[in-house]
Each structure stands twice: as structure tokens, then as C-alpha cells.
Amino acid sequence: VKPVYWSSTGWLPLASGDDGDGFFVDLAPTHEGVVGQVFVWYKADGAARVVASSVETWLALQADCMESGTMSIDAEYGLCHEDD
């Protein structure tokens, strides 16, 4: 993931919170990355971490979390992981 601001060309937002953190599809990765990889970006410190090799894989991970109960949908807060 290139260290650029999230509104940069090449970052396609998938989901974000009120704090500015979010999940993005990387359309312009570094030479070490893969086009289409999904990463989480933290606004406070600008840190980014790849969490899935593709949108398909990321969606499957989200579905697994929902099915296992480690993630739920809250009327006020939206998607919530049990460790949030």
C-alpha cells in the first residue's frame, strides 16, 4: 500500500467509520502488492495493513465473521467486531 491520503486515486473505499478509518481496494499498489488487494487504513496515524488479497476474499472473511458471531450489525454503530 502506497503511503498516500485515502482520497488519492487508486484507493476505492469499501467501508468507513465516522473516525475516518476504513477499508479500501488498492488499485495502485506498490511493487510488493497486488491490484485489488483490500487494506484497512487508520486515519490517526496513517497506518495501512493488507487484510485480504481480493474483494472476494474480504467479503468471504466478513461472511465468516457474521456466521461465527464475531461480528454483528448494530442499529446505532453498524458493523461491530467483538474486539471493538
- % the chain with pLDDT above 90: 37
Distances (CA, A) of 72 to 10, 30, 35, 62, 80: 29, 33, 29, 10, 5
pLDDT tens-place string over residues 53-64: 999 999 999 888
Taking the alpha carbons of 54, 59, 62, 63 in that order, is the dihedral positive or negative?
A: negative
Q: Considering the entire predicted model, what is its pTM?
A: 0.78
- Nearest Cα to 62, choosing from 75, 73, 74, 71? 71
Domain ranges in the chain are: 11-81
**β-strand partners of 16:** 22
pLDDT tens-place string over residues 1-14: 666 655 567 889 99
